[in-house]
Each structure stands twice: as C-alpha cells, then as structure tokens.
Structure 1
Amino acid sequence: MIFSEPIVNSVTWVTSLTHGLQPTLLATATEAENAPIVLTGVLLSLVVIYLASKIGGELSRMMDLPPVLGELLGGVVVGASALHLVVFPDSGAIASDSLIMTILQFINNLTPDSVTSIFQSQSEAISILAELGVIILLFEIGLESDLKELTKVGYQAAVVAFVGVTVPFAAGTAGLMFFFHTPAIPAIFAGAALTATSIGITSKVLSELGQLKSREGQIIVGAAVIDDILGIIVLAVVASLAKTGEVDVFNVIYLIVSATVFLIGSILLGKFFNQSFVAVANKLQTRGNLVIPAFIFAFFMAFLGNAIHLEAILGAFAAGLVLDETDKRKELDQQVKPIADILVPIFFVTVGAKVDLGVLNPIVPENREGLIIATFLIVVAIIGKVVTGWSVFGQAGINRLAVGVGMIPRGEVGLVFAGIGAASGVLDKPLQAAMIIMVILTTFLAPPLLRFAFKQSVEPQETIEPADVIG
C-alpha cells in the first residue's frame, strides 16, 4: 500500500511525538516518585539551618555581638566551607558534595540520576524559602521604619548612596586597571561589585542594636534602598558590556524611570491606602484578619518590584513603609515577628552557607594572586563606604562613622555580582576569588564594626545631648 504524503507526514509526526513523550512521561513519573524524598531533604535541611541559626545566634549574643553575625557564621559552618550539609548548585556544588544527599541516597538506595534531581529540587525549595525570608525581613524593616523621618533624611540618604556607589566603583575600577593591569570590562565588573550594600544585613543589625529609628539608622536604610536601585542599574550596564561590549541605553533609562516612579508612587499610595486597609481588616472576622491582608499587600508589592525588573525586596520594604502609617501598625508588627522568626534565619544561614572559605587558602596558586587583589578590593570596599558618612551635611551631632560603616556589608548582593560575572566568563579565577573574599570579609566585619561605631557615640552623648542620640 502506498501512503499519500500527508498521511506519511502525519504518521511520522505522531511517531516522533510518541517517542518525544516517553522520556517526558518517564521524567514526570520519576519526579513524582522522588517528591517525598525531596520533602525529606528539605525538612532535614531546615533542621540543620535552624540549629545553626540558634546556636550561632546565641553564641554571638554571649560574646556581645549582633546575633545576625552568628547566623551567618553558623551558615559558614554547615555550608560549603566546612560540614557540607547545606550546599547549592548555583555555588558550583554537585549532589555528591552534599552530606544530606549522601544520607538520603543511603536510606533510599537512590540512583545517581535520582540523587542529582532531588538535590536540585531540594536546593530550589530552600532557596525559595530564603527569598521569602528576605522579603519578609524587608517588610518587617519597613514596618519598623518611620516614613516621615525617612522622607526628612531622604536627600541625605540619596547623597550617601551616590557617594557610596561612585567612590568605590571609580577607585576599584581604576586601581585594578592601573596596579594589576586588569582588562577594562573585568575591572568594571569588579568595580561594580564594590558598589553593593546588603540592606538585609545592615537593617537587621540596626534593628538588633535599637538604632533603626535613629537619624543614622534612617539615613543608612534610605541610602541602602537607593544603593540597591543604583546597584541594579550598574549591574544592567556591566552585564550589557560583558555580553555585547555595548551598553543598552534604553534599558538603563527604563530602570531609572521605573525605580523612581515605583518608590515615589508607593509613598504617595500610603496616604490613600491606609484607611482602606484598616477598614478591610476590621470587617474580617476569621483568623489572620490583619496579617493576611498585610501579606497580600506585601507580596503584591514584591511582585510588582520583580515584574518591572527591580527587586522584590524593594517592593516589600515599600509595603512596610505604607502600612507603617496605619493605626494597626503596632498590632501588625507583633503578628509579623513570629513569621519573620521562622523564615528570616533561613536567608542568613544560606548566605553564610554559600560562602566558600577555600578561596582564602594561600596554598592554592590561583588564590595567592587572588588574595593580593582581594586586599586591594577590601581596602577600597571599606574606605569607599566609610567616607559616605562625611557626605552627610546639615545634621548636627550625627554619627558619621556609623553611617559609613552601615554601608559596608556586601552580603548576598555582592555574591550576585560575583556569580553573574563568573557565569558570563568575564572574570578570571584570581579576580573571581578576590571578589568573593571581599564580599565575605565586608559582610562579617560590618556587624561588630557597626556596634562599635554606635557605642563610641552613644556613651558620651547620653549625658550631654540625649535628644541627638534618639534623633
């Protein structure tokens, strides 16, 4: 029998479709089988994360250091640097590097392919929980901030942020090109990483020190928010350079306009939204009548931030600022805290877990060059942010050292820069290692330095000018 061409094509299409579906169906079936094991891995990871968080936080408190530093160090211990209990594929780890995956493989007699699939799924789940943690942290910080005070120091925060971006970027880029003969694009990428400020880490330390609502605290938080926006714009520029050698001007303009409209629009929204929010909360009669609408608003604002290519944390922070003006703020703040206590530690421990202290090993030849470059980057990273405190003007009795030190930690933001640079192939191994070392040390040095800076100013001013300390 001779088939006509349309029929032959149809049979071929159906056959190829059937063959194509078989691996897909098998993969889906395998994923369904592995789902309970993925959950087991997530639960075991959370046990490790919470233990590291509490032990680290308590030890840090006993040594009169901010607990967040203990959480970060707890993450380092259980992460890629030591115990390998909590590791992530985006940091270069594979399934066999994870001790938790080894345990699951032994218990369930898993194939290597299944272990890899489970490792990726489990890591994604923990990463999502960590992202939720930092979103809730910034929402909580927004609630604890004072919008009126923040707007009062808004111009000061903008100046601090601008100086904190331009000085380290210019010094880092020029220094790498002049002293180390680094090519232009890698030098620009490393200089861009120096502009970052981790608003999550800084704001958490300020909250723990009781300085979040001080003038210094409000300037630091405001500057860190603006710094984050400027960092996104800088990252867009250097990413364009890395890919094409040219800057996408339209994308940069879009980011500037969208960021400005988003933040100003969020602040203006507060004046109209507050009464409606309270009215809705009062009409609801079931559990969560206040906290659920608040999280709906916070997550929606975080979604908007992501949708316009900004950061979800900026949207969550803006939502907190808006709800800070409502009559229900204190009650809402108390209801948000237990949720933050559950999710925020996941973020800090995972930040620490992704840090690989192996880059500090001078025995490795590549690390030696990296350590020399890192020394330069660390000096620029610290001085480039500390000088921002002296850009504050018109503020009598302001603690300029505290403002500058508060801008130092690069945290997860710096790791994002290093990760994108490595993925693009722009950075060689020594420069990549140097950037990671800079991120590690600035992240861990900032909390104790910030406490020291505030102690230096609080003790004498408590007896002379207490009003200035309170702000």
Structure 2
Amino acid sequence: MLLESLVQGWTTPLLATEAVSENSPTILAGVLLSLVVIYVASKLGGELSRLLNLPPVLGELVGGVLIGASALHLLVFPEGGAEAGNSLIMGVLNAITPLSPEAAGEVFASQSEVISLLAELGVIVLLFEIGLESNLRELMKVGVQAVVVAVMGVTVPFVAGTAGLILVFGVPTIPAIFAGAALTATSIGITSKVLSEIGRLKSSEGQIILGAAVIDDVLGIIVLAVVASLAKTGEVDVMNVIYLIISASGFLLGSILLGKVFNQSFVAIADKLKTRGNLVIPAFVFAFFMAFLANAIHLEAILGAFAAGLVLDETDKRKELDKQVMPIADILVPIFFVTVGAKTDLSVLNPANPANREGLIIAAFLIVVAIVGKVVTGWTVFGQPNINRLAIGVGMVPRGEVGLVFAGVGSASGVLSESLDAAIIMMVILTTFLAPPFLRLAFRDSETEAETVVSNPVES
C-alpha cells in the first residue's frame, strides 16, 4: 500500500486525472515489472562483461539496448515515439488487467515517467559517488603535466567534434556542441583497472594518466553543466555561455572551499546521531541540497551532487561513507545505464537503409575524433624525453560511464536526434572496448624490457 500510494503521489500531478488514481495499482505493477527487467538485464550484462574482462557498466548499457527500442521492446519510452502497444510489459499488464486504449496510454506514460525519474536520481547518486572517489589531495600532487594533458584532452576533441559536425555535416549548433562535449570524457575507472593489472599504476605514465583523468572529470562536468543549460534555452548566447562557465566553475570551487569549514560540522553531526543511517542520511541530505542549489542557479543538478562528493571526500569518515553509499548506488545507478541503452534505437544506424548512412558516417567521424583527440594528448607531455607518450594518449581514450552520463542527459533533454544519440552511444561503446587491449599493447615494449632486466640482471 505504501508503494502504491507513492506511485499515485508521483503520477497524479503528472496527469491530474481521476483515471490515473484508478489505474495506480496497474502503474505500480508496471513500475515493478520494469525494475525486474532492468535489474536482470543489468546483472546479466554486467557479469558477461566481467567474464570478457570489460567494465560491467558496458554490459549494463548493452543489456539496456537489448531490452529496449533496438531489440526486445520490453522497456520503451514515449519520448522515443513508442506507444503502449509497442511495450511488451504493457502487453503483460493488459493480459492481467484488461485496459481501454486511453487507460493503457495513461498507464504507459506514468510508469515511464517514474522509471525516468528513478534514472535521473540514479545519475545524481552516480556523480555523488564519482565525487567521493576523486581525491583532491592526490589531484594537487600530479602537477602541471597532468593538467596540460587534461586540458588538451578536453579541448581537442570538443573543438574538432563540434566544428566538424557543424561545418561538414550541417548539424545544428546546440546538438553539435552537446555531441562535442560528449567526446571530452575519460573513464578513470577503466584506465586505472588496466594500469593496475599490468603493474603500471605507479609509473610516471600511470600517474599522469590518472591525474589527467580526474581533472578531465572535473572539466567534463563543468562542460556538461554548460551545454545542458544551453540545451534548455535552445540558443547560443555568448554572454550566457560566459555566465554559465563562470557560475559552474565558481559553484564548484566555492563548494570545495566552503567544504573545509563544513567538513567539521558534518562529522560532528554524524557523531551525535545514534540511529541507523547516522552517516549516510546526512550525506545524502547534503548531496541533494547541493543538487538543488545547482539546479536553482540554472546549472545541472549533477554538478551539485559531484561537488558534494568532492567536499565529503575530504572528511575523516570518507572511507566509511564510501562503503555506505555503494549499496545505494548499486540499486539506483543501473537504472540509469540500462535506461540509456533502452532509449537508444540503434536501428537508425542500419546500413541497409539509405536514409541511415549519414548517421553511420557521423558515428564513424565521432569515433575517429574520440580516439585521435585523446591519443595526441600524450605528445603534450614535456620535459620527459623517455616517457611513453602513446600509452598516455591511449590511456585517455575510454569514455565509459562518464560518456554515458553525457549521452543520457542529452537524450533526456531532447536536444539530440535519434541518429546523433545512437552515434554517441556507439562512440562510447567502441572507445570503451578498444582502450584496454590497446593500452596493454602500448606498454608491451616497456614490459618486455622490464622482464629482460629481471631475467638477465647486470653482472657485477
């Protein structure tokens, strides 16, 4: 009854009709069945990816693609042009409780809205978790080299991607900017895992890659906040862009500076609370309040959640908090990734349809820019003649979960066409697949040299 009341409370403001109230048990059933499908797809996809030595998040995305508009039609959404009759879940509900066409449409819209809201909550929790994992103290130690690599890793693909889409393909400015912004991301999780496996995490190359990837995340979130705000206005106003850049940067820096004062208060509050959730509940109160503040000044809520994570990363309770946030993220974040995959219709890239060929060419263009735009950053490292520049560049290539955040926000805003949205998803998938083996290959010569030294030590 509690869940039923909750669903009714969410959906009544959306449709404001008595029919919704009458259909709330069916809406609840649709939400629950959708969550069953989402979690099964996420776990099967994640486990398969793990067996293939790939990041589980990639499996969640592919699982979403399989159950969504591209394949099984178990999870489809009205904003993608789907109707109640296109959803297999609605077919099951209708078989259990026969619905009129009007009621079916209302149930479909309402259950889709609830899942979309849960997905948005999932991405807020994801960015909060990423903020918690972004160690500011370590960031301060990486030096100028990582900063240069990060700035170039954001600037080159963003400028090349945006300019190419506008000048060559005639894509409108706002969608082109959004697609260009999606090219700026770097997945620190994927790269760090590979570096750890090959024993290069503590090398000079590894430290530069990790430092640059963390800075990339910070810059990328600022870029995302700016372009998402531009998408809401629908136009590029130079003064508005300047305002957004300054406000996003100021919000992030101000949060970090004020966080040094807040940290002591947060720890004191957590220590005084004696009931369950004494640490994680205040943390989420802070994260959601920061997300609200960001939204209130016309930035993305995820920027506020990310800033909250950066602030709380500096507390003495960071490790304990990280452990408590993880199960919550395990529940909500897969909804976001599976939903992103489900909303992506890869059929728009079917080469058999002549109308799709331009989309395929755009996808190929984005993939090339995504790879080359990051690989060249290795050659911006200066003062270290013997460093493996190719490894540094390749280490910046994978987009992973960060790239999916861009795709998800762009899709939800409605600014991306189906073909451009699918092209971005393909870019994320391929860069994530290709980066691990190529990073190992880039370090192969160095590994061979190290093995030679071990097997043939210098004779005295």
TM range (shorter): 0.7 to 0.9
Match of 1:249 among 234, 238, 242: 238
Match of 1:322 among 311, 319, 327: 311
Task: Please name the residue that 1:205 is paired with.
Answer: 190
Match of 2:426 among 421, 441, 450: 441
Deviations 1:323-351 (A, max 9, x none): 11211111111111111111111111111
Instruction: Name the aligned partner's letter for residue 404 of structure 1.
Output: M
Q: Which 5+ residue runs of structure 1 have no aligned equivalent?
A: 1-23, 424-431, 466-471
Higher mean C-alpha deviation, range 446-455 or range 349-358: 446-455
Deviations 1:236-280 (A, max 9, x none): 55776x65xxx4233223212211211111111222122211111
- 2:181 is paired with a residue whose SS is coil
5 Å-filtered alignment, 1:40-439, equals 40-153=29-142, 159-160=148-149, 162-176=151-165, 179=168, 182=170, 186=172, 189-190=175-176, 192-197=178-183, 202-206=187-191, 215=207, 216-234=209-227, 247-393=236-382, 399-407=391-399, 410-414=403-407, 416-417=409-410, 432=417, 434-439=419-424
2 CA distance for matches of 1:147 and 1:462? Answer: 34
1 CA distance for matches of 2:426 and 2:345? Answer: 12
Compute the displacement of 1:456 (Å). 4.2
2 CA distance for matches of 1:49 and 1:194? Answer: 29
Asked if structure 2 preserves the Cα contact closer than 8 Å seen for 1:161 and 1:224, the reply is: no
Compute the displacement of 1:195 (Å). 2.5
Asked if structure 1 preserves the Cα contact closer than 8 Å seen for 2:225 and 2:248, the reply is: no
- 1:113–1:362 Cα change, 3 Å: same
- 1:195–1:157 Cα change, 3 Å: farther
Instruction: Name the aligned partner's letter for residue 382 of structure 1.
Output: I
Aligned pairs, number: 425
Asked if structure 2 preserves the Cα contact closer than 8 Å seen for 1:139 and 1:319, the reply is: yes
1 CA distance for matches of 2:114 and 2:184? Answer: 23
Compute the displacement of 1:192 (Å). 4.3
- 1:307–1:437 Cα change, 3 Å: same
- 1:406 is paired with a residue whose SS is coil
Asked if structure 2 preserves the Cα contact closer than 8 Å seen for 1:274 and 1:323, the reply is: yes
- Tell me the TM-score normalised to structure 1 length: 0.80
Deviations 1:354-397 (A, max 9, x none): 11111122222211233234333332333234334444556766
Instruction: Name the aligned partner's letter for residue 59 of structure 2.
Output: G
Asked if structure 2 preserves the Cα contact closer than 8 Å seen for 1:197 and 1:227, the reply is: no
2 CA distance for matches of 1:418 and 1:135? Answer: 16
Task: Please name the residue that 2:3 is paired with.
Answer: none
Higher mean C-alpha deviation, range 324-333 or range 305-314: 305-314
- 1:142–1:369 Cα change, 3 Å: closer
- 1:377 is paired with a residue whose SS is helix
Instruction: Name the aligned partner's letter for residue 310 of structure 1.
Output: L
- 1:27–1:344 Cα change, 3 Å: closer
Instruction: Name the aligned partner's letter for residue 226 of structure 1.
Output: L
Deviations 1:6-34 (A, max 9, x none): xxxxxxxxxxxxxxxxxx9x953211111
Instruction: Name the aligned partner's letter for residue 413 of structure 1.
Output: F
Compute the displacement of 1:283 (Å). 0.8
Instruction: Name the aligned partner's letter for residue 266 of structure 1.
Output: S
1 CA distance for matches of 2:144 and 2:110? Answer: 44
- 1:84–1:462 Cα change, 3 Å: same
Compute the displacement of 1:116 (Å). 1.2
Instruction: Name the aligned partner's letter for residue 214 of structure 2.
Output: V
Higher mean C-alpha deviation, range 390-399 or range 222-231: 390-399
Question: CA RMSD, aligned part only?
Answer: 3.3
Task: Please name the residue that 1:426 is paired with.
Answer: none
- 1:209–1:373 Cα change, 3 Å: closer
Give identity over the alignment, percent: 59
- 1:58 is paired with a residue whose SS is helix
Q: Which 5+ residue runs of structure 2 have no aligned equivalent?
A: 1-12, 452-460
Asked if structure 2 preserves the Cα contact closer than 8 Å seen for 1:405 and 1:453, the reply is: no
Task: Please name the residue that 2:9 is paired with.
Answer: none
Higher mean C-alpha deviation, range 152-161 or range 34-43: 152-161
Deviations 1:436-465 (A, max 9, x none): 342122111232333235434667469959
Asked if structure 2 preserves the Cα contact closer than 8 Å seen for 1:415 and 1:439, the reply is: no
Instruction: Name the aligned partner's letter for residue 219 of structure 1.
Output: A
Asked if structure 2 preserves the Cα contact closer than 8 Å seen for 1:135 and 1:316, the reply is: yes
